A and B are shown apart, each in its own frame.
Chain A
Amino acid sequence: MPYSSHPHPMSPLAITHSTLTNALGQGNAAVFSALKNQRSGLAPCDFLDITLDTYIGRVADLEALPVVSRLKDFDCRNNRLAQIALQQDEFEIAVVAAKARYGADRIAVIVGTSTSGILHTELAFRERDPVTGALPTSLHYRETHELSSAPAFVRHYLDLTGPMLSISTACSSSAKVFASAWRMLQADLCDAVVVGGVDSLCLTTLYGFASLELVASEPCRPADADRGGISIGEAAGFALLERRENTPDAKIGLLGYGESVDAHHMSTPHPEGLGAELAMQRALDRAGLVAGDIDYINLHGTASRTNDSAEDKAVSRLFGPHTPCSSTKGWTGHTLGAAGITEALIGLLCIEHGLIPGSLNTRHIDPSFTSQIVLQNENRPITRVLSNSFGFGGNNASLIIGRLDA
Chain B
Amino acid sequence: MNIYLDSIGVIAPGMANWSEAIKTLTGVQAFAIHAPLPDFNVADLPATERRRAGKSVKLAVDLAAQAMASAFIDPTLPAAVFASTSGDTEVLTDICAALATDDRLISPMRFHNSVHNAASGYWTIAQQNRQPATAVALHNLTASAGLLEAAAQVVAENVPVLLVIYDMPFPPPLDAAEPIAAVFGMSFLLQPARTPHSMAQLSISLSMAESQTVNVMDNPELEALRIGVAAARGLPLLAALASVFSSGLVSGNVQTVVLEYVSPQVLIIAVQPIISGEPNT
Which residues of chain A have a CB within 8 Å of any CB of chain B?
A: 1-3, 6, 105, 114, 118, 121-122, 124-126, 128, 133-135, 139, 141-142, 146-148, 151-152, 155, 161-170, 176, 179-180, 182-184, 186-187, 189, 203-204, 207-209, 211-212, 259-267, 274-275, 278, 391-395
B279 at the interface (CB under 8 A from A): no
With A207-B99, A207-B106 as known contacts, state yes or no: A391 contacts B262, CB within 8 Å: no
With A135-B177, A211-B106 as known contacts, state yes or no: A126 contacts B100, CB within 8 Å: yes
CA distance A135 to B99 in the complex (A): 14
Q: Chain B residues near A135: list those with CB within 8 A.
A: 173-174, 176-177
A3, A165, A183: which has the most chain B beta carbons within 10 Å?
A: A165
Residues A278 and B130 in contact, CB atoms below 8 Å apart: yes
With A128-B173, A161-B263, A262-B130 as known contacts, state yes or no: A169 contacts B135, CB within 8 Å: yes
CA distance A267 to B112 in the complex (A): 6
Q: Chain A residues near B1: list those with CB within 8 A.
A: 187
Q: Chain A residues near B174: list those with CB within 8 A.
A: 121, 135, 141
Q: Which 4 A-B pairs give the minimum distances between C-beta atoms? A: A393-B121, A259-B132, A208-B111, A168-B116
CA distance A113 to B139 in the complex (A): 14
Q: Which of A147, A189, A275 contacts B148 (CB 8 A)?
A: A189
CA distance A393 to B177 in the complex (A): 28
Residues A263 and B177 in contact, CB atoms below 8 Å apart: no
Residues B115 and A392 in contact, CB atoms below 8 Å apart: yes
Q: Which of A3, A133, A162 contacts B172 (CB 8 A)?
A: A133
Q: Which of A142, A163, A393 contacts B262 (CB 8 A)?
A: A163
Residues B121 and A204 in contact, CB atoms below 8 Å apart: no
| Binary flags per residue of B98-141, CB closer than 8 Å to A gives 1, else 0 | 01100011111001111111101110110111111111111101
Q: Closest residue of chain A to B119, judged by CB? A: A393
With A261-B131, A266-B118 as known contacts, state yes or no: A6 contacts B111, CB within 8 Å: no
Q: Chain B residues near A186: list those with CB within 8 A.
A: 152, 155-156
Residues B130 and A275 in contact, CB atoms below 8 Å apart: yes
With A211-B106, A261-B131, A266-B112 as known contacts, state yes or no: A395 contacts B149, CB within 8 Å: no
CA distance A71 to B88 in the complex (A): 27
Can you offer 21 A-B residue contacts whose CB atoms are under 8 A? A2-B77, A6-B157, A114-B116, A128-B173, A133-B172, A135-B177, A142-B139, A147-B87, A147-B137, A147-B138, A161-B263, A176-B134, A189-B206, A207-B104, A208-B95, A208-B114, A261-B130, A267-B108, A391-B117, A393-B133, A394-B124
Q: Closest residue of chain A to B191, judged by CB? A: A1
> Closest approach, in angstroms, between the C-beta of B1 and any C-beta of chain A?
5
B277 at the interface (CB under 8 A from A): no
B56 at the interface (CB under 8 A from A): no
Q: Chain B residues near A147: list those with CB within 8 A.
A: 85-87, 116, 137-138
Q: Chain A residues near B206: list those with CB within 8 A.
A: 163, 189
Q: Closest residue of chain B to A264, judged by CB? A: B125
B208 at the interface (CB under 8 A from A): yes
Residues A125 and B158 in contact, CB atoms below 8 Å apart: no
Q: Chain A residues near B173: list those with CB within 8 A.
A: 128, 133-135
CA distance A169 to B128 in the complex (A): 18
CA distance A207 to B263 in the complex (A): 38
Q: Closest residue of chain B to A125, judged by CB? A: B100
B269 at the interface (CB under 8 A from A): no
Residues A161 and B108 in contact, CB atoms below 8 Å apart: no
Residues A394 and B125 in contact, CB atoms below 8 Å apart: yes
CA distance A393 to B117 in the complex (A): 6
Q: Could you list 13 further interchain pairs (A-B, Cβ under 8 angstroms) beyond the known A141-B174, A393-B112?
A: A3-B132, A135-B174, A148-B85, A148-B139, A148-B141, A163-B265, A169-B116, A180-B152, A204-B96, A207-B105, A208-B106, A211-B106, A393-B124
With A6-B158, A180-B152 as known contacts, state yes or no: A265 contacts B125, CB within 8 Å: yes
B153 at the interface (CB under 8 A from A): yes
Residues A118 and B96 in contact, CB atoms below 8 Å apart: yes
Q: Which of A1, A121, A125, A391 contacts B159 (CB 8 A)?
A: A1
Residues B125 and A183 in contact, CB atoms below 8 Å apart: no
> Closest approach, in angstroms, between the C-beta of B209 and any C-beta of chain A?
10
> Closest approach, in angstroms, between the C-beta of B122 and any C-beta of chain A?
7
Q: Chain A residues near B125: list those with CB within 8 A.
A: 263-266, 394
Q: Chain A residues near B138: list those with CB within 8 A.
A: 147-148, 151, 164-166
B52 at the interface (CB under 8 A from A): yes
> Closest approach, in angstroms, between the C-beta of B221 and any C-beta of chain A?
25
| Binary flags per residue of B66-85, CB closer than 8 Å to A gives 1, else 0 | 00000000001101000001
> Closest approach, in angstroms, between the C-beta of B204 and any C-beta of chain A?
9
With A189-B206, A203-B104, A208-B111 as known contacts, state yes or no: A166 contacts B156, CB within 8 Å: no
Residues A204 and B111 in contact, CB atoms below 8 Å apart: yes
Residues A1 and B158 in contact, CB atoms below 8 Å apart: yes
Residues B177 and A122 in contact, CB atoms below 8 Å apart: no
Q: Chain A residues near B36: list those with CB within 8 A.
A: none
Residues B178 and A142 in contact, CB atoms below 8 Å apart: yes
Q: Chain A residues near B97: list those with CB within 8 A.
A: 125
Q: Chain B residues near A278: list those with CB within 8 A.
A: 130
B189 at the interface (CB under 8 A from A): no
Residues B137 and A169 in contact, CB atoms below 8 Å apart: no
CA distance A223 to B112 in the complex (A): 24
Q: Which of B100, B105, B129 contacts A128 (CB 8 A)?
A: B100
CA distance A150 to B44 in the complex (A): 34
Q: Chain A residues near B148: list those with CB within 8 A.
A: 163, 165, 189
B271 at the interface (CB under 8 A from A): no
> Closest approach, in angstroms, between the C-beta of A269 and any C-beta of chain B?
12
Q: Closest residue of chain A to B98, judged by CB? A: A207
CA distance A220 to B66 in the complex (A): 44
Q: Chain A residues near B141: list those with CB within 8 A.
A: 148
> Closest approach, in angstroms, between the C-beta of A215 and any C-beta of chain B?
12
Q: Closest residue of chain B to A109, judged by CB? A: B262
